[in-house]
């Protein structure tokens, strides 16, 4: 079955530091990959996505590249801000078959950014 593994958290950084959150996956076929973010007191929001190998998703200064050869989708940001403090979830979904697009999530990584 499908699975997603994220780096253990929590992650604590100073403002303007470089961020990497590792994500690897196991899946059949050719899944689509997502990063979702949950800000304090808010619901899950899509941060970025990539639907095929070598695609790069980007949004709000965050980037992630779909690497089929290493089954990875690591999240990066060059300079984090206090407002980036949140929980980040890596997720995948399969098109077609009996998967119906349901998401399989990683365990989430708590990011705290200090001024």
Partner 1 sequence: GAGVSQSPSNKVTEKGKDVELRCDPISGHTALYWYRQSLGQGLEFLIYFQGNSAPDKSGLPSDRFSAERTGGSVSTLTIQRTQQEDSAVYLCASSPLPTGNQPQHFGDGTRLSIL
Provide the binding-site residues for partner 1, judged by CB under 8 A: 31-32, 34, 36, 42-46, 49, 51, 89, 91, 93-96, 98-108
Residue number, 43 or 115, with CB nearest to partner 1: 43
Nearest approach, Cβ of 107 to partner 1 (angstroms)?
5
Residue number, 93 or 113, with CB nearest to partner 1: 93
Nearest approach, Cβ of 61 to partner 1 (angstroms)?
19
Edge-to-edge order in the sheet of strand 62-65: 19-21, 75-77, 62-65, 56-59
* Whether the Cβ atoms of residue 114 and residue 84 lie closer than 8 Å to each other: no
Residue number, 2 or 72, with CB nearest to partner 1: 2
Burial of 97 (0-12, 13-18, 19+ CB in 10 A): exposed
Nearest approach, Cβ of 67 to partner 1 (angstroms)?
17
Question: Beta strand pairing status for 62-65 and 75-77?
Answer: antiparallel
């Amino acid at each position: 079955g499908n699975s997603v593994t994220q780096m253990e958290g929590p992650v604590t950084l100073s403002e303007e530091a470089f961020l990497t959150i590792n994500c690897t996956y196991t899946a059949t076929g050719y899944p689509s990959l997502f990063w979702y973010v949950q800000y304090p007191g808010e619901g899950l929001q899509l941060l970025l996505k990539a639907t095929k190998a070598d695609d790069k998703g980007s949004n709000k200064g965050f980037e992630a590249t779909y690497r089929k050869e290493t089954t990875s989708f690591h999240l990066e940001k060059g300079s984090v801000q206090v407002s980036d403090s949140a929980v980040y979830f890596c997720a995948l979904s399969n098109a077609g078959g009996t998967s119906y697009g349901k998401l399989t999530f990683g365990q989430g990584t708590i990011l705290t950014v200090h001024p």
